[in-house]
A and B are shown apart, each in its own frame.
Chain A
């Protein structure tokens, strides 16, 4: 199972919005709503930010939102803040009953 495709890096200024894409196939992202997004700061464990494509866990800022179209899922962060600078990973269930992460995207807040 190949990793889902994410841009290696994105950047934005404080207050701006950015979107991170996550492209898979009809056997993973496109076939299921079991897409989630994780934030990871350096040296820390990942944190769940979005699940089931567009749902936010309790305690996660509403500046984070998710969506999906076809085989591509997206994470949008609005009103960028310095503490949003981190690595972001998408994850999807697959038709083989396995899981697959994206390669990760480094977000830089300028």
Chain B
């Protein structure tokens, strides 16, 4: 069974940092582009970032560019999101998701994790 399991969420002060992880199983990890999508409390979905299967190509939403870094470890089947300079507006459930093939951003997301909550507050 294809599964994604996020971890690393929690409470952090404005200006702080947090690193999210997403452990994958049930598929050949390095063959697929992966994404982070977030959802603020009571709000809609927001695309955050994509990374290619090899990890050499990344894309970011303008709202996080320069503050967030997506990466992956294909030897450990794990996706990461390093979040720096956090703001109150970054408060959200963060989902990792798998693209249906190797194409970043344009392909649909056919597998989603259950999400991890990040709260930015003093």
A residues sitting closer than 8 Å to B (CB atoms) are: 1, 3, 32, 34, 36, 38, 40, 45-48, 51-52, 57, 87, 89, 91, 93, 97-104
| B11 CB–A CB distance under 8 Å | no
User: What is the interface residue range for chain B against chain A?
Assistant: 20 to 34
Q: Chain A contacts of B61 at CB under 8 A?
A: 1, 98-99
* Nearest neighbor of B63 in chain A, beta-carbon distance: A1
Q: A98 to B65, alpha carbons, bound, how many Å?
A: 12
Q: Which of A51, A52, A104 contacts B44 (CB 8 A)?
A: A104
Closest Cβ–Cβ distance, residue B69 to chain A (whole Å): 16
Known A45-B113, A45-B115; contact A36-B44, beta-carbon cutoff 8 A? no
Known A32-B106, A34-B107; contact A91-B113, beta-carbon cutoff 8 A? no
Q: Which of B44, B47, B113 contacts A99 (CB 8 A)?
A: B47
New A-B contacts (15) at CB < 8 Å, excluding given A101-B45, A104-B45: A3-B44, A32-B106, A36-B109, A45-B113, A45-B114, A46-B109, A47-B112, A48-B108, A52-B108, A91-B45, A91-B109, A98-B60, A98-B62, A101-B46, A102-B44
| B83 CB–A CB distance under 8 Å | no
Q: Are A100 and B109 in contact (CB under 8 A)?
A: no
